[in-house]
């Protein structure tokens, strides 16, 4: 059984491309991921918030894959940003990963993250078979 994403009729529709609710079946293993940033295997942090956003999603995907899941198993993400990104580029990254139904999602703008070069950090919760 897969995760079901819903937008109940008794609440307003999401203001952007996300789901209001993720229903996780009882037979799934819950993965709670640490915040992922836009760094690559060498440890280098990519330049630009859009590149960091895309790489953070790549890192989340790699972690979920390592546990036998796919990005469809991601139920929720929380995105921390230090500046406003180019929405068109963010939508392109989201289309690549959230091809069917986007997960439950929150965007939070913060004054800074743990390192001055880090512009985005994404936490995720996934539920895999």
Per-residue pLDDT of the chain (129 residues; tens, 9 = 90+): 788 989 999 999 887 778 889 999 899 999 999 999 999 999 999 999 999 999 999 999 999 999 999 989 999 999 999 999 888 888 888 888 887 788 999 999 999 999 999 999 999 999 999
Q: What is the pLDDT of residues 98-117, one digit of tens each?
A: 877 889 999 999 999 999 99
Q: Per CATH, which fold does 4-128 belong to?
A: 60s Ribosomal Protein L30; Chain: A; (3.30.1330)
**What whole-number distance in Å separates Cα of residue 80 and Cα of residue 44?**
19
b/e for 104-121, b at 16 or more Cβ within 10 A?
A: bbeeeeeeebeeeebbbb
Quote the percentage of the chain above a pLDDT of 70: 100
CA–CA–CA angle 69, 58, 28 (5° rounding): 20
């Amino acid at each position: 059984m897969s995760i079901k994403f819903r937008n109940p009729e008794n609440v307003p529709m999401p203001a952007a491309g996300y789901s209001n609710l993720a229903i996780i079946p009882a037979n799934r293993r819950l993965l709670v991921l640490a915040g992922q940033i836009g760094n690559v295997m060498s440890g280098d942090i990519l330049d630009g918030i859009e590149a960091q956003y895309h790489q953070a999603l790549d890192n989340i995907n790699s972690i979920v894959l390592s546990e036998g899941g796919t990005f469809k198993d991601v139920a929720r993400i929380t995105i921390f940003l230090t500046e406003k990104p180019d929405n068109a580029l963010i939508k392109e990254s989201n289309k690549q990963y959230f091809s069917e139904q986007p997960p439950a999602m929150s965007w939070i703008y913060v004054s800074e993250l743990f390192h001055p070069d880090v512009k985005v950090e994404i936490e995720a919760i996934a539920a895999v078979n």
